[in-house]
């Protein structure tokens, strides 16, 4: 299944980002101009987490999956600002959540509505409050469920049950106007029916990808789960997979992932030729699902794994394969990669122009997790968290003591940072000590950022 795990493997701890600009050299490293964050609390979680979200009141929402009787079942939990678990909701039936987003008191929403997205994985699933979806044995279908602030399911949306197909969502975002946007993937066997419907509630929307296709999927839903539009990026061997989605302040939609070589058709009005090796893809869509531009970094096995935005500009985490260099345009050049598969942090503006890029001194083979605010970007890279300013200069970094590993990261834009982690033995979570939790327990922590 094309999914990246929420918890990452151990990384080599290092303290700065290295990047080559058009004239060579590296981005300046001012040392540690800002103090690392201070741990406020840590709390165990009842499963494996894939996504975090925070509301304006400081509550934290965590989504993922847990296990019951051998089945993987979607999980959603809510914590108050002090780390107290307010409620936890687990689906009944094979399912999982890969993304969560929460509303504020804004137009089109009632305050505190929570949207969770992922996949329904063979068979029916119930989400409480008489909300249920009849799944199909052996199939995988996309899933979106809305909950109210008390954790009561309001509605669920999925695809019709068709043979030989797979659809799922890996990312979700809300625009404050009553719309949800999701990104993921779909695929059909050559013998399968090359169409499907989004089914609940009406209207039904029919999509017709090519037989045997594997495409990136982007969709919009209204406040009651009604389908707005669906855009599929596909074409022959140019098989796109989308792993992350963010929205900017102007309503731009950004998706990233990987793509195979050949002509990629992005909806009905946009096409791009991808080098035969395939590579990593970043694309921007407008609020109607129309692709405006796409950027490809060629290389078999290369992928953009994660996205974050400060509202105007875009940060990307990438795993780039091979040792070739990259001319990223705008005078930004990455010289030959230091290893056969390297972690890279990049920044783009809303027009797709590269602002800067650099290697992370890491040997972790798994994807980065990113969060951004007006001061810069925060990066989880296995056993280390790093903060960079808007120009790519290191602000601070610290590693999980004793070989523990960090996973997801989220900033609320108001001075708080949330991370998930797992330790080995009784280990302090923060750089200055703090909560100690047993070995093998996944937990979430809240930090206060320094000035």
Distance CA 178, CA 4 (A): 28
Q: Could you list the beta-strand ranges (E) of 248-375.
A: 253-259, 262-266, 271-274, 279-285, 291-298, 303-309, 314-321, 326-327, 333-334, 341-348, 354-359, 369-373
Question: Mean pLDDT throughout 135-143?
Answer: 76
More confident residue, 254 or 159: 254
In which residue are the tokens 């669920």 written? Answer: 156
Question: Mean pLDDT throughout 293-309?
Answer: 93
Q: What is the mean pLDDT of the chain?
A: 80
Domain coordinates in residue numbering, the chain: 50-398
**Architecture of the domain whose range is 50-398:** 6 Propeller (2.120)
Q: What is the pLDDT of residue 14?
A: 26
Question: Mean pLDDT throughout 398-419?
Answer: 85
b/e per residue 322-355 (b: at least 16 CB within 10 A): beeebebeeebbbeebeeebbbbbbbbebebebb
Phi/psi of residue 220, nearest 5 degrees:
-125, 145
Interval 26-43: pLDDT, tens:
444 555 667 888 888 888
DSSP secondary structure letters along 77-92:
EEE-TTS-EEEEEE-B
- Surface-to-core class of residue 51, CB atoms within 10 Å of its CB (0-12 exposed, 13-18 middle, 19+ buried): buried
Interval 238-293: pLDDT, tens:
678 999 999 999 999 999 999 999 889 887 789 999 998 899 999 999 999 999 99
Question: Mean pLDDT throughout 324-353?
Answer: 86
**pLDDT class of 195 with cuts at 50, 70, 90:** very low
Query: Does residue 235 register a pLDDT over 80?
Result: no
> With a threshold of 0.85, does the pTM exceed it?
yes
b/e per residue 169-187 (b: at least 16 CB within 10 A): bbbbbbbeebbbbbbbbbb
Q: Are the beta carbons of 71 and 94 closer than 8 angstroms?
A: yes
């Amino acid at each position: 299944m094309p999914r990246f795990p929420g918890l990452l493997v151990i990384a080599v701890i290092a303290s700065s980002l290295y990047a080559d600009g058009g004239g060579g050299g590296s981005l300046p490293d001012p040392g540690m101009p800002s103090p690392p964050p201070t741990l406020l609390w840590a709390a165990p979680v009842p499963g494996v987490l894939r996504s975090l979200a925070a509301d304006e009141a400081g509550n934290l929402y965590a989504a993922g999956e847990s296990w019951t009787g051998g089945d993987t079942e979607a999980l959603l939990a809510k914590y108050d600002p002090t780390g107290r678990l307010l409620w936890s909701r687990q689906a009944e039936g094979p399912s999982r959540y890969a993304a969560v987003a929460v509303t504020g008191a804004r137009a089109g929403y009632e305050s505190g509505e929570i949207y969770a997205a992922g996949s329904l994985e063979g068979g029916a699933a119930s989400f409480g409050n008489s909300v249920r979806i009849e799944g199909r044995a052996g199939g995988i279908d996309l899933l979106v469920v809305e909950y109210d602030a008390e954790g009561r399911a309001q509605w669920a949306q999925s695809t019709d049950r068709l043979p030989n197909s797979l659809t799922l969502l890996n990312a979700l975002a809300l625009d404050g106007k009553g719309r949800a946007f999701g990104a993921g993937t779909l695929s059909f066997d050559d013998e399968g029916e090359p169409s499907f419907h989004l089914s609940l509630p009406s209207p039904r929307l029919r999509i017709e990808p090519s037989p045997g296709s594997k495409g990136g999927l982007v969709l919009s839903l209204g406040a009651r789960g009604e389908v707005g539009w669906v855009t599929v990026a596909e074409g022959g061997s140019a098989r796109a997979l989308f792993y992350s989605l963010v929205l900017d302040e102007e309503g731009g939609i950004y998706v990233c992932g990987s793509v195979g070589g050949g002509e990629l058709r992005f909806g009905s009005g946009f096409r791009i030729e991808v080098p035969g090796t395939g590579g990593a893809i970043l694309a921007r869509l407008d609020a109607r699902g129309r692709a405006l531009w796409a950027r490809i970094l060629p290389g078999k096995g290369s992928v953009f794994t994660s996205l974050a935005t400060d509202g105007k500009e875009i940060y990307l985490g990438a795993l780039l394969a091979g040792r070739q260099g990259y001319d990223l345009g705008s005078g930004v050049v990455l010289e030959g990669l230091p290893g056969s598969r390297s972690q890279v942090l990049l920044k783009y503006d809303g027009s797709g122009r590269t602002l800067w890029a650099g290697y992370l001194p890491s040997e972790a083979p798994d994807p980065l997790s990113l969060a951004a605010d007006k001061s810069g970007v925060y990066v989880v890279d296995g056993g280390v968290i790093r903060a960079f300013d808007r120009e790519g200069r290191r602000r601070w970094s610290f590693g999980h003591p004793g070989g523990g590993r960090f996973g997801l990261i989220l900033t609320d834009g108001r001075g708080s940072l949330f991370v998930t982690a797992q330790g080995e033995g009784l280990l302090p979570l923060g750089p200055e000590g703090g909560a100690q939790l047993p070995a093998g327990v996944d937990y979430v922590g809240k930090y206060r950022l320094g000035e």
